[in-house]
Amino acid sequence: MAKASSATKIKLVPLGERVVVKRAEAEETTAGGIVLPESAKDKPQRGEVVAVGEGYTKSDGTKVALTVKEGDKVIFSSYAGEEIEVGDDVLLLLREGDILCTL
């Protein structure tokens, strides 16, 4: 489904209702122009969907596709998902239910 932007070009295929998101870059400076050290930067709660799973399986065995798709910009819960390293990239693997909205 999605290819990581690193030189290894690993394909990620999340299972079921899971989604892979590339987190947006943290702000380097404040609104007043103060440069933030690495320890003071908050991890953004927004990013871009790079891969989606097949969807939910209902109790009768039918599949329900996920609402989000590759390329969607999303906002997600602050403690949602697991960070995974793929080549040089750090991606976030989370459930679609952890996504709060699309942009």
Between 87 and 31, the more confident residue is: 87
Measured distance CA(72)–CA(35) in Å, rounded: 30
For residue range 70-101, list pLDDT tens digits in order: 999 999 998 889 999 988 888 999 999 999 99
Asked if 101 and 25 count as a contact pair (C-beta separation under 8 A), the reply is no
Phi and psi angles of residue 81, each rounded to the nearest 5 degrees, phi first: 75, 180
Q: Which residues contact 78 (CB under 8 A, 6 or more apart)?
A: 43, 45
**Domains along the chain?**
13-24+38-102 (2.30.33.40)
Residue 33 confidence (pLDDT): 73
Q: What pTM was computed for the model?
A: 0.76
Confidence of residue 15 (pLDDT cuts 50, 70, 90): very high
Measured distance CA(10)–CA(33) in Å, rounded: 38
